[in-house]
Amino acid sequence: MYLRHFGLKEFPFSITPDTSFFFSSDSSQEALNTLLVAVRTGEGFIKITGEVGTGKTLLCRKLMNALGDEFYVAHIPNPSLDAISLFSVLCDEFAIEGAAPDASAHQLVRAINEKLLQLAREGRRAVICLDEAQSMPIETLEALRLLTNLETEKRKLLQVIIFGQPEVEHKLSHPSIRQLKQRIAFHYELGPLERSELDFYLHHRMVVAGYQGNRVFSPMAVRTLERKSRRVPRLVNILAHKALLSAFGRGSRTVGMRDVSAAARDTASVDTAPSWRMRTLFYLTFASACLAAAGWVNWK
């Protein structure tokens, strides 16, 4: 592969959410700051939304790493669960002993509440990070809301951070869980990278992976990558990885426009169709040529 060719210790554009590669773009840093403030002020529900590939899972893991020992974090990466399954998972996450496999919902909730009270006596706060929340059934979301009813005179004993795609907004608008939506005190929507950030993002990941040297991606390559990926981090990573492969195959230490274009053609999730301007110019040229051939247009 291209690791030795570019002097890298690891692949710089893996799509796994490795927090060592976290890039403080305007959007991701503002989202992280919002989360840290909201968690430390003890809000009940916090919501982060973003389109596919904008870095929600990476942000979730970055937050969990940033929280200190005073927080006890339960991470649920796949919340497509019914209520009892959710309570069982939480018992595992909170290391609750004695929860029988055939326990009822009431028994599981009571065990969770006792654990939350224990953590509160120890001066610790319980946080649930719920990833891919758009796949959670409405009934389970309502069951989760009921868990957050436990509180002291000062604060909630359980905080829930919801990470999800924009479809989660539609789910939260369901009349049966309108109380949950009212409890969301903080909300932030993750967006793509800014145009001015893309070049720094590429170089940042290369440096974290061990690269030493000047920019690998040429200005034309960056502009092409911006257009093809729409600056969505996951698509940027996929295209940048393939573009590095292409440059390596050519024996070049610089990624050019044609390397990114080749990567885009090899990626099904990227629209490689020509822009509307190019299509319009093509059709006008084709129509004019047909008219000229028919003798209807005098080109002289």
pLDDT of residue 153: 62
pLDDT of residue 286: 46
Mean pLDDT of 216-226: 97
Q: What is the CB neighbour count within 10 angstroms for residue 228? A: 21
Taking 80 as the threshold, does the pLDDT of residue 277 lie above it? no
pLDDT of residue 43: 73
Mean pLDDT of the chain: 87
Residue 115: helix, strand or coil by DSSP?
helix
Phi, psi of 159 (to 5 degrees): -115, 145
Taking 80 as the threshold, does the pLDDT of residue 10 lie above it? yes
pLDDT of residue 160: 93
Taking 90 as the threshold, does the pLDDT of residue 237 lie above it? yes
Percent of the chain predicted with pLDDT > 90: 64
From the list 54, 47, 93, the residue with the least C-alpha distance to 71 is 93
Residue environment code for 44-61, b if the CB has 16+ CB neighbours within 10 A, otherwise e: bbbbbbbeebbbbbbbbb
Q: What is the largest CA-CA distance in the chain?
A: 92
Q: Per-residue DSSP letters for 250-280?
A: HT-SSB-HHHHHHHHHT-TTS--SPPHHHHH
Sign of CA dihedral 105, 108, 112, 113: positive
Taking 60 as the threshold, does the pLDDT of residue 241 lie above it? yes
Lowest mean pLDDT among 62-71, 193-202, 290-299: 290-299
pLDDT of residue 275: 46
Structure tokens at 225: 């990558």
Token pair 């009813």 is found at 149
Taking 80 as the threshold, does the pLDDT of residue 59 lie above it? yes
Taking 80 as the threshold, does the pLDDT of residue 274 lie above it? no
Mean pLDDT of 242-256: 96
Cβ proximity of 168 and 49 under 8 Å: yes
- CA 278-279-283 angle, to 5 degrees, is 120
pLDDT of residue 271: 65
pLDDT of residue 287: 54
pLDDT of residue 161: 95
Q: Burial, 70: exposed, middle or buried (Cβ in 10 Å; 0-12, 13-18, 19+)?
A: exposed
Lowest mean pLDDT among 240-244, 266-270, 275-279: 275-279
pLDDT of residue 278: 41
Mean pLDDT of 166-179: 89
Q: Helix count (H) and strand count (E) of the chain?
A: 13, 5
Q: Which residue has the higher pLDDT, 288 or 298?
A: 288
Mean pLDDT of 142-161: 81
Taking 60 as the threshold, does the pLDDT of residue 154 lie above it? yes
pLDDT of residue 276: 47
What is the pLDDT confidence band of residue 296, given thresholds at 50, 70 and 90? low
Q: How far apart are the C-alpha atoms of 26 and 32, rounded to whole Å?
A: 10
Token pair 């503002």 is found at 30
Q: How far apart are the C-alpha atoms of 44 and 148, rounded to whole Å?
A: 7
Mean pLDDT of 237-246: 97
pLDDT of residue 64: 94
What is the pLDDT confidence band of residue 102, given thresholds at 50, 70 and 90? confident
Q: How far apart are the C-alpha atoms of 55 and 205, rounded to whole Å?
A: 14
What are the structural domains of the chain? 3-15+200-265 (no CATH), 26-190 (3.40.50.300)
Q: How far apart are the C-alpha atoms of 117 and 109, rounded to whole Å?
A: 12
- How does pLDDT run across 73-83, given as a tens digit for each residue? 999 998 889 99
From the list 191, 209, 190, 196, the residue with the least C-alpha distance to 21 is 209
pTM, to two decimals: 0.85
3-state secondary structure 153-216: CCCECEEEEEEECCHHHHHHCCHHHHHHHHCEEEEEEECCCCHHHHHHHHHHHHHHCCCCCCCC
